[in-house]
């Protein structure tokens, strides 16, 4: 029997598991550092986007397939080495996603009041790692750097009336803090122009649909250079055209009477964050675009302006994190690979694979990871077509005692189903789809309570 380990239980991990298990007689053990599964679907998707969490239903069906086992609460590279994992399994697929954020690399980035968007996302989604983070929502002016969907998520959560979030699965502590928010202005700052925003049109449209909020675009910002006109008019790339149409609609709107105002700003790059013991603002440099259609980059003009703000989120992309014992491309934040086969000095490492954001970088929507996972699974299976002379591997029968001997308390999928039911019941009591346990201890207490009942 081919025994395989998947490291990470987010979308790519589950899509790889599905592809492998559907191929026939394999055993798949999915290792996850948290005691609960689903990674980005549970902790990354915005609470007001419940439809994007529906893949979790398909993941639960995968978990019910014969040969699947979930092992939660184990960090590979810390609780056990990759070498130990290789001893126990024929193959390992790393699906850890992109766990950290990119930095701006400008002075003042470390000032209190300057945060990564990933921290805020983890905090409002009840990720245990971000529970203790504090965001100064007494500030009236917030700046978000980046024009991607994560920036749009952060902007919506800051701009929406708190009553519009009460029926979501947003963490209770975030709801309480947002109820006291004094935020009035949110500036979304992009280094390139309106034709190059990375928002999908649905996310951009939503910014204009927030109740009691306005969205403003200076009409002059929508004048395009010839290369951008070519991008917008290219029939193969309709997204830019749709976004431009929305931006023109926004530019024509009035913002009178809005409780909160969103400003979409273009062609500006942060050069410095200023403040003495707390963030007081950001110096922005005006840019122009250089290069051919679809290859335009932002070039500073030397013209600087100051934008006072007490809270800033950088939302300029995610990065993967290295695992000791696994090759890593630190510049790109990915595991070097050829269609999912992990490479060391350009050579494929036998039995080591990767999928998802740690394979290709943080791009695409959740569904994008399915095709990516199928590619990796296909290569893995083709590397093991002849299984007659495979050495026997112990899989979980060696792994679980090893982890227990190190004092780790691991969870299985049945444990998760108990936690899931308890969270849904807690949510129902307050009119939410779910009230997450945000402390790891509370997850384990819930499992123990139900075992005792």
Q: Which of 59/266 has CB closer to ligand NAP?
A: 266
Which residues lie below 8 Å from residue 293, measured CB to CB, with a gap of 6+?
A: 227, 228, 230, 231, 234
- Separation between Cα atoms, residue 317 and residue 364, nearest integer Å: 12
Q: Which of 29, 196, 214, 337 binds ligand NAP (CB under 6 A)?
A: 196
**Helix (H) / strand (E) containing 313:** strand 311-314
Judged by CB under 6 A, does residue 219 bind ligand NAP? no
Q: Which of 196/214 has CB closer to ligand NAP?
A: 196
Token pair, residue 162, equals: 């708190």
Sheet arrangement for strand 347-354: 68-72, 26-32, 2-7, 91-94, 347-354, 341-344, 337-338
Least distance CB 268 / ligand NAP (angstroms) = 9
CB atoms within 10 A of CB 441: 9
Q: Which stretch binds ligand NAP (CB under 6 A): 61-69, 133-141, 192-200, 246-254?
A: 192-200
Residue whose tokens read 């397939």: 65
Q: Which of 47, 108, 146, 293 binds ligand NAP (CB under 6 A)?
A: 146
Q: Which stretch binds ligand NAP (CB under 6 A): 14-22, 189-197, 246-254, 376-384?
A: 189-197
- Contact present, 205 and 197 (Cβ < 8 Å): no
- Separation between Cα atoms, residue 176 and residue 343, nearest integer Å: 47
Q: Which of 211, 301, 339, 363 binds ligand NAP (CB under 6 A)?
A: 363
State how far the alpha carbon of 134 is from the alpha carbons of 15, 122, 183, 188, in Å.
34, 12, 15, 21
Greatest CA separation found in the chain? 74
Q: Which of 219, 291, 364, 367 binds ligand NAP (CB under 6 A)?
A: 364
CB atoms within 10 A of CB 138: 11
Judged by CB under 6 A, does residue 153 bind ligand NAP? yes
Which residues lie below 8 Å from residue 156, measured CB to CB, with a gap of 6+?
A: 46, 48, 206, 207, 210
- Separation between Cα atoms, residue 326 and residue 85, nearest integer Å: 12
**Helix (H) / strand (E) containing 154:** helix 149-159
Rounded to a whole number of angstroms, the CA Rg of the chain reads 23
Site for ligand NAP, residues 59 to 88, rule: CB under 6 A: none
Q: Which of 9, 125, 139, 269 binds ligand NAP (CB under 6 A)?
A: 269
The β-bridge partners of 91 are 4
Q: Which of 31/273 has CB closer to ligand NAP?
A: 273
Q: Which of 3/53 has CB closer to ligand NAP?
A: 53
Q: Which of 26, 30, 104, 215 binds ligand NAP (CB under 6 A)?
A: 104
Closest-by-Cβ residue to ligand NAP is: 148
Q: Which of 365/421 has CB closer to ligand NAP?
A: 365
Q: Which stretch binds ligand NAP (CB under 6 A): 135-143, 146-154, 253-261, 445-453?
A: 146-154
Q: Which of 192, 260, 360, 436 binds ligand NAP (CB under 6 A)?
A: 192
Least distance CB 311 / ligand NAP (angstroms) = 17
- Separation between Cα atoms, residue 425 and residue 208, nearest integer Å: 34
Q: Which of 169/203 has CB closer to ligand NAP?
A: 203
In whole angstroms, what separates CA 437 from the centre of its chain? 19
Least distance CB 65 / ligand NAP (angstroms) = 27
Site for ligand NAP, residues 278 to 317, rule: CB under 6 A: 315-317
Task: Using CB under 6 A, count the residues that bind ligand NAP.
Answer: 26
Task: Of 142, 262, 141, give the one whose Cα is nearest residue 203.
Answer: 262
Q: Which stretch binds ligand NAP (CB under 6 A): 3-11, 217-225, 256-264, 358-366?
A: 358-366
Which residues lie below 8 Å from residue 65, measured CB to CB, with a gap of 6+?
A: 17, 18, 21, 22
Q: Which of 151, 165, 319, 354 binds ligand NAP (CB under 6 A)?
A: 151
Judged by CB under 6 A, does residue 55 bind ligand NAP? no
Token pair, residue 176, equals: 């309480």
Binding mask 106-145 for ligand NAP (x = CB under 6 A): ---------------------------------------x
- Separation between Cα atoms, residue 35 and residue 444, nearest integer Å: 8
Q: Which of 34, 88, 150, 279 binds ligand NAP (CB under 6 A)?
A: 150
Provide the 3-class DSSP secondary structure of residue 131: coil
Q: Which stretch binds ligand NAP (CB under 6 A): 149-157, 171-179, 341-349, 411-419?
A: 149-157
Q: Which of 291/324 has CB closer to ligand NAP?
A: 291
Which residues lie below 8 Å from residue 76, measured CB to CB, with a gap of 6+?
A: 7, 31, 33, 82, 85, 323
Judged by CB under 6 A, does residue 187 bind ligand NAP? no
Footprint on this chain of ligand NAP (rule: CB under 6 A): 49, 52, 104, 145-151, 153, 190-192, 196, 198, 203, 269, 315-318, 362-365
């Amino acid at each position: 029997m081919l025994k395989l380990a998947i490291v990470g239980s987010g979308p790519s991990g589950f899509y790889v598991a599905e592809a492998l298990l559907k191929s026939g007689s394999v055993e798949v053990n999915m290792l996850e550092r948290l005691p609960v599964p689903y990674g980005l679907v549970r902790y990354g998707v915005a609470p007001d986007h419940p439809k994007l969490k529906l893949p979790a239903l398909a993941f639960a069906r995968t978990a019910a397939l014969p040969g699947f086992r979930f092992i939660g609460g184990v960090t590979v590279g810390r609780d056990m080495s990759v070498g130990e994992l290789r001893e126990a399994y024929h193959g390992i697929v790393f699906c850890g996603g992109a766990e950290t954020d990119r930095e701006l690399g400008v002075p003042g980035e470390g000032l209190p009041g300057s945060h990564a968007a990933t921290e805020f996302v983890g905090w409002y989604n009840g990720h245990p790692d971000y529970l203790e983070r504090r965001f100064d929502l007494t500030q009236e002016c917030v700046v978000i750097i980046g024009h991607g969907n994560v920036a749009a998520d952060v902007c919506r959560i800051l701009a929406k009336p708190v009553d519009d979030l009460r029926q979501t699965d947003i963490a209770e502590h975030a709801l309480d803090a947002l109820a006291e928010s004094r935020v009035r202005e949110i500036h979304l700052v992009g280094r390139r122009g309106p034709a190059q925003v990375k928002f999908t049109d649905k996310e951009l449209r939503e910014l204009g649909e927030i109740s009691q909020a306005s969205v403003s675009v200076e009409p002059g910002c929508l004048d395009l250079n010839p290369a951008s006109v070519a991008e917008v008019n290219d029939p193969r790339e309709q997204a830019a055209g749709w976004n431009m149409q929305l931006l023109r609609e926004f530019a024509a709107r009035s913002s009178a009477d809005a409780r909160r105002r969103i400003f979409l700003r273009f062609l500006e790059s942060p050069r410095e964050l200023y403040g003495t013991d707390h963030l007081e603002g950001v110096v922005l440099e005006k840019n122009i675009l250089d290069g051919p259609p679809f290859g335009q980059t932002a070039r500073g003009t030397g013209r600087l302006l100051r934008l006072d703000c007490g809270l800033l989120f950088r939302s300029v992309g995610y990065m993967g994190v290295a695992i000791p014992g696994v090759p890593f491309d630190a510049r790109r934040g990915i595991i070097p690979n050829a269609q999912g086969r992990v490479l060391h000095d350009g050579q494929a490492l036998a039995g080591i694979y990767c999928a998802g954001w740690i394979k290709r970088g943080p791009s695409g929507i959740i569904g994008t990871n399915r095709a990516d996972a199928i590619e990796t699974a296909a290569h893995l299976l083709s590397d093991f077509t002849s299984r007659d002379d495979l050495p026997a591997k112990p899989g979980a029968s060696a792994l679980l005692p090893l982890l227990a001997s190190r004092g780790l308390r691991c969870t299985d999928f049945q444990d998760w189903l108990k936690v899931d039911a308890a969270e849904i019941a807690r949510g129902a009591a307050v009119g939410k789809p779910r009230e997450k346990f945000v402390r790891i201890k509370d997850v384990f207490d819930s499992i123990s309570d139900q075992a005792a009942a």
